[in-house]
Structure 1
Amino acid sequence: MSAPTTAHTFTTTTRLGEVTLEPVVPVRDAGLVQGWLSHPAASYWQMAGLRVDEVREYLAGVQAGPHEAAWLGRLDGEPVFLTETYDPARVVLADVHDARPGDLGMHLLVAPPATPRHGLTDAVMTAVMRFCLSGERAAGGQAGGGQAGAGLGATRVVVEPDVGNRKIAAKNAAAGFRVLREIDLGRGAHAKRAALSVATRADFAASALGGGPLPGSSMLATHLTPEHMEPAHRHLVAKTLAELAHERLFQPEPDDAAGSPPDGYRLALDGVTYRFTARRYALEHWVVDPASVRRTATAGMRGDVELPVDALELIAELQPLLQVPDALLATYLEELSATLAAAAAKRERETDGHTPSVRGLLEALRTASGTRAVAESFQQVEAAMSEGHPGFVANNGRIGFSLSDYRAYAPERGRRMRLLWLAARREHTHLALAADQTETGHYGAPGRLGELSDAERAAFADRLAARGLESADYLYLPVHPWQWEHRVAITFAADVARGDLVPLGPGSDEYQPQQSIRTLFNRTRPERHYVKVALAIQNMGFLRGLSPAYMRATPAINDWVADLVAGDETLRGTGFSLLREVASVGYTGDVYHRAPSNKAQPNPHRKMLAALWRESPVPRLAAGERLVTMASLLHRDAAGTSFATALVRESGVPAEQWLRAYLDAYLYPLVHCLLRYELAFMPHGENLMLVLQDGVVRRAIMKDIGEEVVLLGDRPLPDRVERIRAVVDDDEKALAIFTDVFDGVLRHLSGILAEDGVLAEDRFWALVAETIDRHAAEHPGLSSGVDLRAARFAHSCLNRLQLRNTLQMVDLTNQSESLIYAGTLANPAGRQAVR
């Protein structure tokens, strides 16, 4: 905790009046505090015998300490209490409390009033808790303060009252404190048996004294307020107008009304009109200003009536154009509503300091030192993202998550969690491994750490033995806590009851959910594998599960692609690499796999019990290198600051040089894979990690290979890898770059850099064309019918897919036939566009 400054004061209004807290001044306040301590009501402080000079010395010692502080509290200007705050990891509780980042210890002494005043201690406790919990945390994760008017930004308050102090126990309970356990503190005359207790922001907000929402609290849905929801609506409405206009579902017209700005547009629907300002860029990319959007209804003689800007109402008003199937419209609106709520929650966390701003993210990257700090900065960026799929309007549906599930497991919350482990009967379960892996090496062996420690494996074997089962008859399968609660224990209840699936309890390692919500990064051991689980929630047009049948071939596919990439001189030269999925496990002993199946109709129940392990990028970093998800290049924080723009400016290199380095790392190897091998990836922002050095992209790392790589031609393949083949003509092959790279990523990045005045779009696309031409010049013998400098290409529309079928956007066994096109788009990197 930061030491207080004389400028640091805090003010809040309570039922009894205005309460202020200010740093104690020992010379001024010692006499006052000594009088309070000598009163019988302060007996539990055990300081009744101190003289004024001794109290002055005591307070001076507290104020001089780097990890504690004393504060004088006033009610309407009258001094009425003393509170002390401290870092429990270093002071008082250092040896007895497992402190978390953001913990703040607190002591409270309320002055004995000359005339008893009803509600005084309630008002004081309320004010002190607001002081401790509101505001931002200080650097390093410790609760602190130094900004005038700010609270100390703790995430939990810790107290240790004497167990015999019933009055303070009742007051603590009213403030939301929960007793963890009893502990022994102090020595000799100052020894006490204490009730170690904590209160989180959520605990206090929900308590009798909480008095309503507290910034950053989570028990009450504090993000669902006009303050956070109104900008979330505007953001989503602006995105809907932009993306659906891009997909030609409607065409906004220039607004010719008197007083309209030159870049004003209007969209007239049945009885409702939208007006907004926007700029249009290449690839029919719209950038709509959220603050400019107005929604009006015509009211006859009274003229236009202003209506709230509401993303859900916009979809309802657009339904005659969108023609979402009636049976699926509610599902789409539910996904949109969840996306809206997530946007409001994310905005709340950004504005209250829980989620770093762009400046904070770059500072963490720049100052990270050592493997763990680099991994921490990487995960801070990951948790700050929400636009991994920038083209989709309803991109954060997560149907099935409750409010508490969202807080615990949503990637943007950045929370840590432990996986639950099942023993799955071996005869019904497969374990597929990469060529360089073994079962014992994967799970671990005595003295050799794998995904499970010696202690975990021994404990799991003991738990099986206690049920009369042999550990050799089982394979270990990790599941998400939500998956256990909502799928395994219910949908697979019979399998658990007969012992084909045996719950073993949580593992030791903590994981953080990634933007791909099923994928989890190991925070305890960042060098170990990611785990991807069959979460099985509905999100963005799919049930997000994992198929055991698909998982069986996944390591072999990854080996084949990794060998191809590693063996190619061009790809090695760009630094392009893959994170292999080296192991997968899938359970098929359930009745859903035994029942007849209609291959034309996907069976989601066959995608609920599987997992895979993917390599971590952390061990691949050299000194000075940093990791970010590529989705960060499309991120703007709550203040509108662009991560990409800030990165370019902080790097100190010219914008064209910065972009050229990025295209060399990202576009060049993807072009090479397509033209040399007819190989295409799914290269959106969530699937790429960028390696930075001094703010400049040095190389790219691709993930999610097994489910999303595709061979588009007749090249020979091993039998186990054959499933990735999907032969298409040259024009459709080109869409692997045109749709997934140009339209899916680069049009958004180009718009951001142009909007921020970093790089004009004509120069952006000229550099894209230059990258393609340079690849051709450096590979003169490469023959391909794919023309990436063609004048136009087919306009493949992603939102149209989701609107057509919100439960299953495409047939994963024949994605090509599932696509929806809306004419063609002019290629901004085409020969006619770039000269």
Structure 2
Amino acid sequence: MTAATDILATATSAPAASSAGTFTAWTRLGELTLSPVDPDADAATVQGWLAHPASSAWHMGGLGVDEVRAYLAGLVADDAQDGWLVRLDDAAVAYVETYDPARVLLTEVHDALPGDVGMHLLVAPAPVDPAERRPGLTDAIMSAVVRCCLTDVAEGGRGGARVVVEPDVTGAKIAAKNAAAGFRVLGEVEVTDGGHTKTAALSVCTRDDFAASPLGAGVDPAPHLRGDLAEHAHRHVVAKALTELTHERLFAPVADGAADGAPGADGPARYRLDLDGVTYRFAARTFALEHWVIDPGSITRTGDSGDQDGTELPVDALELIAELQPSLQIPDDLLATYLEELSSTLAAAMAKRDRELSGLTPDATRLVAGLTAPGPEAAHQGPADQAEDRRRTAETFQAVEAAMSEGHPGFVANNGRIGFSLPDYEAFAPERGGRLRLQWVAARREHTHLALADDQTESGLYDAELSSAERAAFADRLAARGLDPAEYLFLPLHPWQAEHRLPITFAADVARGDLVPLGPGADEYTPQQSIRTMFNRTRPERHYVKVALAIQNMGFLRGLSPAYMRATPAINDWVADLVDGDATLGGAGFGVLRELAAAGYTGDVYHRTPRPNAHRKMLAALWRESPLPRTAPGERLATMASLLHRDAAGRALVTELVRASGIDPADWVRAYLDAYLYPLVHCLRAHDLAFMPHGENLVLVLRDGVVRRAFMKDIGEEVAVLADRSLPEQVSRIAAPVDDAEKALAIFTDVFDGVLRHLAGILAVDGVLREDRFWALVGECLARHEAEHPDLESGVDLRAARFAHSCLNRLQLRNTLQMVDLADQSSSLIYAGTLANPVART
């Protein structure tokens, strides 16, 4: 049973001959059908084809009609084989055999999987008259036959998941045809059939292989990159760029004709921005802190010079940056990098919207339903009920985390992720909500530093984070290589880092045994919005794990410095002790999620170069407390960034939360400010302590849809003491003395401008709470803190008339590779005059 084109298919089951039916395939040449062969009716046709010289590879050319009839009858009677006749417009054009390779032909040379289906194809000889030949017929037959093998049985096919072919290695034309159908050669094998032996090219073709092949239906590797989603993404990013770059005073739109309603905060007005040869027009509302809310659907772009005068042009975020380049002044050598980060941001926006429109990502209504779900009744708060409630809390927490459509409210290019491929994006992007297993490496202890919080031990950390089975397996793998497990520390790596960096960038370290890859751990994790921080989904009460990830994202290579993290647990202990020991912060329910342990490898050559470099930040990790063990039944968790989220229908999560809570919007905002703003103000005024309190660094605790308290995270890299205070030696690096005006920017820039101006705009636009009322509540919060702490000796004035306008996008535009020096952030800042304080004393 040797064929001119030999094809085998792996199937979920191998259908018996009695189950065979007719399969129909539509091709560019017409309708092709595969029907069970009839030995009596079809023997003469098949015999004529076998006798043709073109069919010599079958070695059956000497058989007569009766012998072929007997052969076909025997094949049909065998439950391991089937025969088929292929017809085009009722004319027979090919003969096919399918069989179970576990029992037929390849039993000695092919590791057949359960359900494999083998197939042989004999195409009818071409007509002698060239005018009667059908160009493309062989391709059409091949496509229809492979499609039949890979189509589910319920749809008339053979149910295969894989097709395997074994043509003679000397058949160049056959090899080309197989390649066109998506076959991949596994190797050469010796195949004997009917006394004839050949060297065959054993090859396979999966369903995906065939679909992506020239003869398959084709596969769109990026179905989210389509026009309608691109239109929405471009408009969203252009609206944000116009909003934020106007806010940072890089240009100034002007009024453009009659307003659609009362101008300013009470209604949208029309504006225009004239650039060199291009004009943008849009509707917008303006608010305090020079905040703009632009309607993306209102944006138009017209050409105003040459033969395109007044011609409407596509709204394109990349073109906008090119047109704004004279104003933005991005360094020429970094412009392409910024454009690539912006392109990645657009791609992510398309993918996010596609997932939400398809229902894969929950909308704001579904998210709020989870965040407002009641806990177990008091009478049913046993261990099982509490465990189930905590599981629901974790699931909702991560559903909200994955649903975010905006990586950062201020940065325009906020989803850069340069270094990720499309499969990487699908596997590791936070908005995909996927699960991954961390890869572990054993790092030689003499070249690795492990820093621990005061209440932690090495054995306690690893006993909690790794199961006994994992620890034993890792130790056995080291011992199998003749290595002493006691000489190594276990270090978790992001899967991308383990694939792209460990075996390449650190090849020498692996070769000499200073780094030993151990494989994946058991627990599954979900990436957080901060992309390199992982939440444990298998054991949600366990720690977050933050790992180095050497991709470029939002102005930084997302590494972790082993040297910098040596003091991280000590800094976290000091901050936690200060917070826990302050009665005011305790009364507000404010807490920090400590970074309890940090580990980093420094034995590579990059640590011996004269100057620090990004390669020193590629093999490190830290462990941070999870908020889940600190929640009570009925409490729900959400990243604060979620309050600024709008779903695909434009519904804001904060608006839905306020409405679902059933309380007055002012009371809702007041509770939120008490949990967020009040503790931050107290830390600054009482302790000169400043955090980086943007949306992703705060975890909110809600009950019945209302914010009750908050946890601050990302302490080690972000916290600062802004005064000349006596600090323990290990903590001294966080001292950054500045004057009182700059101290106040910890609230003005990071809270007022970085978070609250966006929140105020959403609530005002949605008709939930007027902006003036919102800022009045902020003022009340500040006044209450002053009244409740009259003895605090602080020169920080948060009711000053104006404050310095610090600009984030200007930082990224100036240096898209490293926006600020983390060791000296203050001197890295860029200012654009001052902003009027919306809560200034009147």
Alpha-carbon spacing, 1:210–1:564, altered in 2? closer, same or farther (3 Å): farther
Question: Could you tell me how far apart the structure 1 residues matched to 2:272 and 2:616 are?
Answer: 47
- Equivalent in the alignment of 2:699: 689
The answer (yes or no) to whether the contact 2:799–2:841 under 8 Å persists in 1 is yes
**Structure 2 equivalent of residue 529 of structure 1:** 543
> Against the structure 1 CA distance between its residues 301 and 631, is the aligned structure 2 distance closer, same or farther, given a 3 Å change threshold?
closer
1:683-762 correspondence to structure 2 within 5 Å: 683-762=693-772
Distance 1:124 1:646 in 2: 54
Paired residue secondary structure (1:727): coil
Cα displacement string for residues 806-835 of structure 1 (whole angstroms, at most 9, x for unaligned residues): 111111111111100000000011113xxx
Report the secondary structure of 1:692's partner residue: strand
* Among 633, 647, 650, the residue aligned to 1:637: 647
1:380 aligns with 2:381: no
- Is the 8 Å Cα contact of residues 161 and 169 (structure 1) preserved in structure 2? no
| Residue identity opposite 1:486 in structure 2 | H
- Cα distance in 1 for partners of 2:671, 2:143 equals 60
**Equivalents in 2 of 1:301, 1:402: separation in Å?**
40
**Given that residues 691 and 699 in structure 1 are in contact (C-alpha distance below 8 angstroms), is that contact kept between their aligned partners in structure 2?**
yes
Shift of 1:373: 2.0
- Aligned residue number for residue 464 of structure 1: 478
The alpha-carbon deviation at position 594 of structure 1 amounts to 1.6
Do the aligned residues in 2 keep the contact of 1:794 with 1:825 (CA within 8 Å)?
A: yes
The aligned counterpart of 1:320 is 326
Q: Which residue of 2 aligns with 1:548?
A: 562
1:347 corresponds in structure 2 to 353
Q: Is the deviation greater in 371-380 or in 432-441?
A: 371-380
The aligned amino acid for 1:502 is V
- 1:428 pairs with 439, 447, 453, which one? 447
Asked if 1:581 corresponds to 2:595, the answer is yes
Matched, 1:407 2:426: yes
Residue-by-residue CA offset, 1:683-742 (whole Å, 9 max, x unaligned)? 001100100100000000110001100000122211000011100000000000000000
Structure 1 residues without counterparts, runs of 5 or longer? 1-12, 17-39, 45-117, 130-156, 179-197, 214-218, 445-449
* Deviation of the 1:124 alpha carbon: 14
Amino acid aligned to 2:350 = A
CA separation in 1, counterparts of 2:317 and 2:578? 46
Deviations along 1:393-436, one digit per CA (max 9) or x if unpaired, are 00100111111111110111111000110000000101111111
Distance change (3 Å), C-alpha of 1:586 and 1:277: same
Pair 1:506-2:488 in alignment: no
Q: Report sequence identity in percent.
A: 72
Structure 1 694/124 Cα, relative in aligned 2: closer, same or farther at 3 Å? Answer: farther
Paired residue secondary structure (1:329):
helix
Q: 1:461 to 1:791 in 2, by over 3 A?
A: same
Which residue in 2 is equivalent to 1:167? 158
> How far apart, CA to CA, are the structure 2 residues paired with 1:170 and 1:490?
34
Amino acid at match of 2:593: L
Does the aligned pair in 1 maintain the 2:595–2:625 contact within 8 Å? yes
Match in the other structure for 1:393: 412
Q: Which residue of 2 aligns with 1:75?
A: none
Q: Give 1:490 shift.
A: 1.1
Q: Distance in 1 between matches of 2:404 and 2:206?
A: 29
- Structure 2's unaligned 5+ residue stretches are 1-24, 29-74, 80-138, 165-179, 185-204, 264-268, 375-387
In the other structure, the counterpart of 2:297 is: 291
- Do the aligned residues in 2 keep the contact of 1:628 with 1:691 (CA within 8 Å)? yes
Q: Which deviates the most, 431-440 or 364-373?
A: 364-373
How does 1:178-577 map onto structure 2 within 5 Å? 206=212, 211=217, 220-256=221-257, 263-300=269-306, 303-367=309-373, 370-444=389-463, 450-577=464-591
**CA–CA distance in 2 between the matches of 1:769 and 1:647?**
23
CA contact (8 A) 1:592 1:606 kept: yes
Give, in angstroms, the shift of residue 175 of structure 1: 13
- Alpha carbons 1:633, 1:749 under 8 Å: kept: yes
Distance, in Å, in 1 between the alignment partners of 2:306 and 2:600 is 63
Indicate yes or no: 2:815 matched with 1:801.
Answer: no
For 1:635 and 1:587, how far apart are their aligned partners in 2? 38
Residue 781 (structure 1) aligns with: 791
Asked if the contact 1:713–1:727 (Cα under 8 Å) also holds between the matched residues in 2, the reply is: yes
- Kindly state the Cα deviation for residue 389 of structure 1 after the two structures are TM-superposed: 1.7
Call closer, same or farther: CA 1:495–1:250 in 2, change over 3 Å: same
Q: Does 1:603 align with 2:617?
A: no
- Kept after mapping to 1: 8 A contact 2:277/2:305: no
Are the counterparts in 2 of residues 205 and 220 from structure 1 also a CA contact under 8 Å? no
Q: What does residue range 50-89 of structure 1 map to in structure 2 within 5 Å? A: none
Task: Give the secondary-structure state (helix, strand or coil) at the position aligned to 1:167.
Answer: coil
Q: For 1:360 and 1:208, locate their aligned partners in 2 and report how far apart those are by CA, in whole Å.
A: 42
The one of 827, 831, 834 aligned to 2:841:
831
Contact 1:312 1:336 (8 Å CA) reproduced: yes
Pick closer, same or farther for the CA change 1:375–1:258 going to 2, 3 Å: closer
Contact 2:371 2:705 in 1 (8 A): no
| Distance change in 2, residues 1:301/1:470 (3 Å) | closer
Residues 1:206 and 1:557: Cα distance change in structure 2 (over 3 Å): same
CA–CA distance in structure 2, aligned partners of residues 237 and 564 of structure 1: 43
Question: Per the alignment, in what secondary structure is the counterpart of residue 509 of structure 2?
Answer: helix
Deviates more, 1:781-790 or 1:382-391: 382-391
Deviations 1:188-240 (Å, cap 9, x if unpaired)? xxxxxxxxxx999x889757898467xxxxx6111111021110000000000
- Summarize the Cα distance change of 1:172–1:364 in structure 2 as closer, same or farther, 3 Å threshold: farther
Cα gap change, 1:628 to 1:203, in 2 (>3 Å): farther
Query: Quick one: distance in 1 between partners of 2:780 and 2:147?
Result: 63
2: CA distance, partners of 1:314 / 1:299: 16
Residues 169 and 176 (structure 1), Cα distance of their counterparts in 2 relative to 1, 3 Å cut: farther
Aligned with 2:716: secondary structure? coil
* 1:666 aligned residue: 676
Q: Tell me which amino acid in the other structure corresponds to 1:168.
A: G
Distance 1:631 1:718, change over 3 A: same
1:27 matched residue in structure 2:
none
Q: Is the 8 A contact 2:153 2:159 kept in 1?
A: no
Q: Is the 8 A contact 2:302 2:309 kept in 1?
A: no
Distance 2:519 2:159 in 1: 37
Q: Is the 8 A contact 1:681 1:708 kept in 2?
A: yes
1:281-316 C-alpha deviation (Å, 9 max, x unpaired): 000001111101111102557741111110000000
Matches within 5 A, 1:812-827: 812-827=822-837
Q: Is the 8 A contact 1:534 1:545 kept in 2?
A: yes
Query: Structure 1 residues 266 and 466, CA, compared in 2 at 3 Å: closer, same or farther?
Result: same
Q: Does the CA contact (< 8 Å) of 1:526 and 1:616 recur in 2?
A: yes
The answer to whether the Cα contact below 8 Å between 2:572 and 2:595 also exists between their aligned partners in 1 is: yes
| Superposed displacement of residue 370, structure 1 | 2.1
C-alpha separation between the residues in 2 aligned to 1:696 and 1:177? Answer: 58
| 1:617 matches 2:627 | yes
Whether the aligned pair in 1 keeps the contact of 2:371 and 2:704 (CA below 8 Å) is no
Bigger Cα Rg: 2
- TM-score between both structures, scaled by the size of structure 2: 0.74
Question: In structure 1, what is the Cα distance between the partners aligned to 2:535 and 2:183?
Answer: 32
- Distance in 2 between the 1:556 and 1:261 partners? 55
Change in CA separation of 1:691 and 1:15 when aligned onto 2, cut-off 3 Å: farther
